[in-house]
Chains A and B, each alone.
Chain A
Amino acid sequence: MTESSTTTAPEYDVVVNDEEQYSIWAVGRAVPAGWRTVGVTGSREACLEHIEEVWTDMRPRSLRVAMGER
């Protein structure tokens, strides 16, 4: 798991929705309904790097379910 660099102030949270789609959201602003933070906070680049690693299946969850997968 990538942690925020100690030299830059945290700016963004990694957030995810029920479709398991990832995005980033500026720290301090109320996270919009239907999204939750995943516990990764850091610079924009650090957050996007994290997402690059964990978001391996970009199909929305509802589509995977419709296709008979979990």
Chain B
Amino acid sequence: MTERPDGLREAVAGIWCAMLGVDHVSPEDDFFEAGGDSGLAVETAISLRALTGTDLDLDLVYQHPEFGGLLSFLTDPRPEGQERPLTPAEERLWFAERLHPGSPTYHIAALYRIPGRVDVPRLRTALDALVARHDSLRRGFEAPGRAVTSPTATVSCRWLDACGLPEATVRDLIDEHARQPFDLANPPLLRALAVDRGDEDDLLLLTVHHLVCDGASLAILEDDLGKLYSGVEPDPRPDALPETASRLFDEDEARAYWRRTLAGAPRGIALPHDLPRTASPGSAGAVHALVAPDDLLAGMADLAAQERLSPFMTWIVAYVAGLVPLTGERDVVIGIAASSRTPEQRGEIGMFVDPVPLRLALPDGTTTRDLARAVRRATAEALAHRGVPFQTIVEDLGPGGDPARAPLVQAGLTYLDAADSALRLDDLVAHRELLPTGTAKYELLWSVTRHADRTTTEFEHLTGLFSAERAADVHTGLLDAARAAFSRPDAPLRLPGRPPATAARTDPERAPTRARRPIPELVRLRAAQRPDAPALRHRGVELTYRQLDERAVAIATGLRAAGLRRGGVVAVPLPRGIDSVCAYLGIFYAGCAYLPLDPEQPPDRVRTALLGVADAVLVAGPHPSLPPEVPVLELADLLAGRDADPAVPVRVVGEDPAYLISTSGSTGRPKTVVVPHRGISRLVPDADGIVYHADDRVAHLCNPAFDASILELWGALGSGAVLVVGDKQDALSPARLRAFLAEERISVLGLPTALLHTVIDFEPDAMSGVRLLIFGGEKADEQRLARLLANQPPARVVNVYGPTENTTVSTLQRVTPADLDPGPLSIGRAVSGSTAHALGLHGEPVAPGVEGELYVGGEGLALGYHGNPALTAASFVPDPFGPAGGRLYRTGDRVRPRGDGTFHFVGRTDDQVKVRGFRVELGEIELALRSLPDVTDAVVFARATADSTELLACVTGGAALADAAGIADGLRARLPEYMVPAIVVTDRLPLNANGKVDRAALLASLPDDLPASGGDTGEPPADDPLAEAVTALWCESLGTATARPDDSFVALGGHSIKALKLLARVDESFGVVVDLADFLAEPTLRRLVDSVSRETENAPTS
């Protein structure tokens, strides 16, 4: 049991006497008989709270009016658990825990290398004594948000015999122990692991949850534990006299300070991450550590001495000076961890830090010294007003910012002086090493620790945003910029210019394009490097790189003999196979471009595609119905031995046309896009997130007339991998695709979105052996992707978007479970070497969140439309944002920029229809249909009628799918009446040759007149007590008087803590636990009511 020092008795007596104006006190004295009134009783309780650092009840003196009773209550905690509400700091962490249950984000894992042996029984005894001494180490946390301090708790202290185990294994075991979740309701939130490594030093791991400990507490913990282990009495707990008046804190004034200081502050910092931002980047993190260079420390020490800065302030200067050039922002808000520890809490272990936002704006000409003074002032002011919980500061600012990011502060800084702290077990001295937990608390947290012999900086970052390489680069850049700043304190800082307006565009300099070899040169290089490696296989026939190269040289020689020269166009109406691939490469070697054609197309289409475009047609075998105007070359003839042509392979440059793709044009005249080599070279063999390796086995399943095939063909052959040709039937049945993938051990697979959907429906785990899955071509269905990711998914899943006119891929997005929740999947950001802009009607960039037309530019841009200068000029327009003379392609796709370079696809510019005067997005109806139970896919059409536009939907689904009327009813629950289409339930949606849903065929198959969607208006019953009760809680938590079913909790300013409270109230009122993450995914009142009523209906009736 804890032993209180006599100091406490004296301190309590001091308060008692001061309040009652008496000289001394005896145990039997009664507070109220001695002249105390209710006001004094409350003041006394407040003073005792300050003294003990615990949230004593304000009617404490009423409970224990006699001094003796009061004292024994304070010195001997009640045997049963003591409950209190959470402090704001605890509430923040508790909320984070509820959002990511079991995450080790807030574990503090301190590892000590003990230069000798740990006596484990003694350690156990010492740990238990430590826990008895510190209330926080007996504290647990219970829903919906209470801290409960138990009278006793026993520390789990494991001993691990790791003699002879390899270092890496030991590390893994330690990491596992450190990251194991705590049961927060079961104190202590502290555990230990002692590792015996035989001849080597013992290791001791202490893992403690941040809810009960902080950086400064760790030093206290080390000190006390060391003394208890070594048989020395720990320092008595300080018994400072309570400050009463000075501790009174004007909360209104402080809140006004924060509102004033943060008015108009940016809500998000533009961090230089390299991975596309997803809807929710998760909490997975990593740490990059550096040792601060001596010249930086020297420069910092000089300026600190001149400007009377604390070390912490000096590091804030370094951080801001480093962030400004990296982020390109001159008005930044960072979070610093400020101690809220009162003097009375000096020796206490606990959670006494709270993030404090620090805003720094840097006008032109700001020097490092100016910044230092600004930091000094801002820090002093912030600390003076730190009593306002961070959540309250955010709440007071009102709604705003990206809901997918942490509110207000995404970049943090901590500073800890650990130079004097050590764990001393007898005469064994060990310094802590804080272990990364594989998580990150902020998008970026810079943790500076001063050790006795060095200062380390740790760059903790979300791995969903920063690759390891980028994190290392940014961290180094941060230190470099700080060094430059401190080396010349009176020189103006190098400040970035502001980006023009709120241009929703990606930075063209984000990924400087490398000079890349054209693909034919790259394939030749692979053939020279590994001539006997397999290059190509089809139905068991295999070609090595040498054989492929030889065939391509022969074909090129033959083409030149037939008169073709650099810049010529050769049509290839061949099915996928060894011949077609050799033909394309041979055409490249001749300096020509290939025009791939689907041989199964109607002859008329082949003919129109060829005429006026191709200089020759390359065939293998009989070739019926080719137009007589174009010379036909037989592959076998070309391969027949000829004398070597010294010009082969013909050298090409990036601007040389590589291939042409014939697309259907709205006018009937085909549009033939001419794509240059630079377009392919920027994508393969490696682009952001799509990297092909020499040991890959890449499936070639794409129709070559579809431009996604270039990723397969040249991704494989450009990297030295094997291109495995699959036949049509391999791809069109999920079961066969599964067999193909398994038999051929495919590691890289590309699928059109519609086909991917089908595969997921039938064989969701068919792609478990695939390393890289690339899909695109249509809007993806989040529910299906979620199913894919839950079933042994490919290691990397990438969604690509892009028109042929910008070489297959314009933007891309890696898909992780976090992206699917909440909201629609983003199409990501511009791929390296490309730019993307969302522009308004007059070519002006639209603000984040506002719809615009997507314009794309950069290295992938096509040369234009073959033989069609007017269409080219209309579609490829001058680029006002990029390098001089550049062009942008108008995609005709409507997108919504998200402000971080990523885009949401909205639809086609020509896909918007009006129904009864309302603007209707067909995609929105499709999305709603797909979200109905048992609906697997849906396509919606707008069809003009005599006097209006009618909406039609084709729906496929499982056996339990409702009938058309039932589906329409389900839809009415999600959409306004005018958006509910007539429903046709079909067995399947036809796919066209490119694997996309064949909308034309589908529309043609529909009957001319369909029953109107009709039906009742779907108004909810007016009299629903449950809905009313939920609405009341909703209004109460938002502080509003009324609510509508479609109101969004988040849009109305309900932040995450409020959400947690609302759900806690729901739990109390209805006994229904609504998952916080689920609620935030769709935070509408309607959804909440649904969740509650569903649960209450399911509840046992007994």
Chain B residues near A44: list those with CB within 8 A: 874
B869 at interface by CB-CB < 8 Å: yes
Main SS at interface, chain B: loop
The 0/1 profile, CB within 8 Å of A marked 1, for residues 866-895 of chain B is: 110110111011111001111100000000
Residues B874 and A48 in contact, CB atoms below 8 Å apart: yes
Query: Could you give, for residues 1-31 of chain A, a 1 whenever the CB lies within 8 Å of some chain B CB and a 0 otherwise?
Result: 0000000000000110111011111100111
Distance, CA A17 to CA B878, complexed state (A): 8
Most buried by B among A18, A24, A30: A24
Is B514 positioned at the interface, with any CB of A under 8 Å from its CB? no
In the bound complex, what is the Cα–Cα distance between A17 and B225 (angstroms)? 75
Q: Does B990 contact A (CB under 8 A)?
A: no
A48 contacts across to B, CB distance below 8 A: 870, 873-874
User: Which of A25, A51, A59, A67 interacts with B878 by CB under 8 Å?
Assistant: A25
**A15 engages B878 (CB within 8 Å):** yes
- B655 sits at the interface (CB 8 A): yes
| Pair A51/B885 contact, Cβ less than 8 Å | no
* With known contacts A59-B567, A60-B655, A63-B653, A21–B864 Cβ distance under 8 A: yes
Contact of A24 with B885 in the complex, beta carbons under 8 Å: no
Q: Name the contact of A22 in the complex, choosing from B842, B869, B883 (C-beta under 8 A).
A: B869
- Once bound together, how far apart are the Cα atoms of A31 and B884, in whole Å? 11
Contacts A17-B887, A32-B880, A66-B655 given; does A59 touch B874 at CB 8 Å: no
- In the bound complex, residues from chain A placing their C-beta under 8 Å from that of B878 are 15, 17, 23, 25, 31-32, 34-35
Q: Give the shortest distance, in Å, between A43 (CB) and chain B (any CB).
A: 12
CB nearest to B883 among chain A residues: A34
Choose one: B656, B877, B885; the contact of A33 (CB below 8 Å).
B885
State whether A21 touches B655 (Cβ < 8 A): no
B110-145 CB mask vs A (1 if < 8 Å, else 0) is 000000000000000000000000000000000000
- Report the minimum CB–CB distance from B593 to chain A (whole Å): 12
Residues in B whose Cβ lies below 8 Å from that of A14: 873
Q: How far is the CA of A35 from the CA of B873 in the complex (A)?
A: 13
CA distance A21 to B496 in the complex (A): 33
| B-contacting residues, A23-70, CB 8 Å | 23-26, 29-35, 44, 47-49, 51-52, 55-56, 58-60, 62-63, 66-67
Q: State whether B863 touches A52 (Cβ < 8 A).
A: no
- Check A19/B885 contact, CB under 8 A, given A59-B863, A67-B567: yes
Residues in A whose Cβ lies below 8 Å from that of B869: 22, 51-52, 55-56, 58
A14 vs B869: C-alpha distance when bound (angstroms): 12
Known: A17-B887, A25-B877, A34-B883. A58 touches B653 (CB 8 A): no
Tell me whether A21 and B874 are in contact in the complex, defined as CB-CB below 8 angstroms, given that A32-B880, A59-B567, A66-B655 are known contacts.
no
Contacting pair A23 B877 (CB below 8 A): yes
Taking the nearest CB of chain B, how far is it from the CB of A17, in angstroms?
4
A34: which B residues are within 8 A, CB to CB?
878, 883-886
Bound: A49/B871 CA distance, A: 10
Does B843 sit at the interface, judged by CB under 8 A? yes
Any A CB within 8 A of the CB of B84: no
Convert B883-927 into 0s and 1s, putting 1 for each residue whose CB lies closer than 8 angstroms to a CB of A. 111110000000000000000000000000000000000000000
Chain A neighbourhood of B870, CB < 8 A: 48-49, 51-52
Chain B stretch 502-539: residues in CB contact (< 8 A) with chain A: none
> Does B566 count as interface, using CB distance less than 8 angstroms?
yes
Query: Which listed residue, B653, B880, B884, touches A66 by the CB 8 Å rule?
Result: B653
> Which of B864, B873, B880 is most buried by chain A, counting CB atoms within 10 A of its CB?
B873
Question: In the complex, A18 Cα to B886 Cα: how many Å?
Answer: 9
Nearest opposing residue in chain A for B652, CB measure: A66
CB-nearest residue of chain A to B884: A34
Count of B interface residues, CB-CB < 8 Å: 27
Q: Which of B566, B567, B887 contacts A23 (CB 8 A)?
A: B887
Mask of B618-662 contacts with A, CB within 8 angstroms, 1/0: 000000000000000000000000000000000001011000000
Instruction: List CB contacts (< 8 Å) of B198-226 with chain A.
Output: none
Residues of A within 8 A of B872 (CB): 21-22, 55, 58
The smallest C-beta distance from A34 to any residue of chain B, in angstroms, reads 3
Residues from 833 to 878 in B contacting A, C-beta threshold 8 Å = 842-843, 863-864, 866-867, 869-870, 872-874, 876-878
Q: In the assembled complex, how far is the CB of residue A31 from the closest CB belonging to chain B, in whole angstroms? A: 7
Q: Is B885's CB under 8 angstroms from A18's CB?
A: yes
In the complex, what residues of B have CB within 8 A of residue A49's CB?
A: 870
**Chain A residue contacts of B876, Cβ below 8 A:** 21, 23
Chain B, Cβ-Cβ closest to A55: B869
Complex contacts, B842 vs chain A, CB 8 Å: 26, 29
- A61 nearest CB neighbor, chain B only: B655
Of all chain B residues, the one with the shortest Cβ separation from A60 is B655
- Kindly state the separation between the CA atoms of A59 and B880 in the bound complex, as whole angstroms: 22
Q: Cβ of B863 and Cβ of A24 under 8 Å apart? A: no
Residues of A contacting B883 in the complex (Cβ-Cβ under 8 angstroms) = 34
Residues of chain B within 8 A (CB-CB) of A23 are 873-874, 876-878, 887
Which residues of chain B are within 8 angstroms of A17 by Cβ–Cβ distance? 878, 885-887
Shortest Cβ distance from residue A42 to the other chain B in the assembled complex, whole angstroms: 13
Contacts of A35 in B (CB 8 A): 878, 885
Q: Are the CB atoms of B873 and A62 closer together than 8 Å? A: no
Distance from B159 Cβ to chain A, minimum over Cβ atoms (Å) = 71
Given contacts A23-B878, A24-B873, A55-B869, contact A33 B863 (CB under 8 A): no
Residues of B close to A18: CB separation below 8 A: 884-885
B293 to chain A, nearest CB (A): 41
**Would you give the shortest CB distance from B564 to chain A, in whole angstroms?**
14
A60-B567 Cα distance, complex, nearest whole Å? 12
| CB <8 Å contact, A21 and B887 | yes
| With contact pairs A51-B870, A55-B869 given, residues A67 and B566 touching in the complex (Cβ less than 8 Å) | yes
A18–B887 CA distance with the chains assembled, in angstroms: 11
A60 and B885 contacting across the interface, CB-CB below 8 Å = no
- Residues of chain A with a CB closer than 8 A to B880's CB: 30, 32
How far, in whole Å, are A17 and B873 apart by their CA atoms in the complex?
A: 12
Q: How far is the CA of A30 from the CA of B844 in the complex (A)?
A: 12
Question: Given the complex, which residues of A lie within 8 Å of B885, measured CB to CB?
Answer: 17-19, 33-35
| Complex interface: chain B residues within 8 A of A52 (CB) | 869-870
Chain B positions within 8 Å of A62 at CB level: 653, 655
How far, in angstroms, from A63 to B655 measured CA to CA in the complex? 6
Query: Which of chain B's residues 658-682 have a Cβ closer than 8 Å to chain A?
Result: 674
- CA A15 – CA B870 in complex, angstroms? 12
The CA-CA distance from A67 to B566 in the complex, in Å, is 8
Which B residues between 332 and 366 are near A, CB-CB below 8 angstroms? none
For the complex, give the distance between the alpha carbons of A49 and B870 in Å: 7
Bound complex: CA A42 to CA B32 (Å): 95
B residues less than 8 Å from A31 (CB atoms): 878
Could you tell me the distance between the alpha carbons of A31 and B886 in the complex, rounded to whole angstroms? 12
In the assembled complex, the CB of B186 is this many whole angstroms from the nearest CB of chain A, namely 65
**Is B863's CB under 8 angstroms from A51's CB?**
no
CB distance from B949 to the nearest CB of A (A): 28
Which of these, A29, A60, A67, contacts B863 with CB under 8 Å? Answer: A60
Give min CB distance, A29 to chain B, whole Å. Answer: 7
Contacts of B866 in A (CB 8 A): 58
B656, B870, B879 pick with most chain A CB within 10 angstroms: B870
Minimum Cβ distance to chain B for residue A69 (Å): 10
The CA of A25 and the CA of B655, in the complex, are separated in Å by 24
Residues of B contacting A21 with CB < 8 Å? 864, 872, 876, 887
| Most chain A Cβ neighbours within 10 Å, of B567, B877, B885 | B885
Q: What is the bound-complex CA distance between A31 and B653, given in angstroms?
A: 29
Q: Mark B1025-1043, 1 if CB is under 8 A from A, else 0.
A: 0000000000000000000
What are 11 A-B residue pairs whose CB atoms fall within 8 Å in the complex? A19-B885, A22-B872, A23-B877, A24-B873, A30-B880, A34-B883, A35-B885, A58-B869, A60-B863, A62-B653, A66-B655
Beyond contacts A17-B885, A66-B656: 8 other A-B pairs, Cβ-Cβ < 8 A, are A21-B864, A21-B876, A22-B873, A23-B877, A31-B878, A48-B874, A49-B870, A59-B567
List the 6 closest pairs (A to B, CB-CB), nearest first.
Answer: A34-B885, A34-B884, A55-B869, A17-B885, A48-B870, A63-B655
Binding site for B on A (CB under 8 A): 14-15, 17-19, 21-26, 29-35, 44, 47-49, 51-52, 55-56, 58-60, 62-63, 66-67
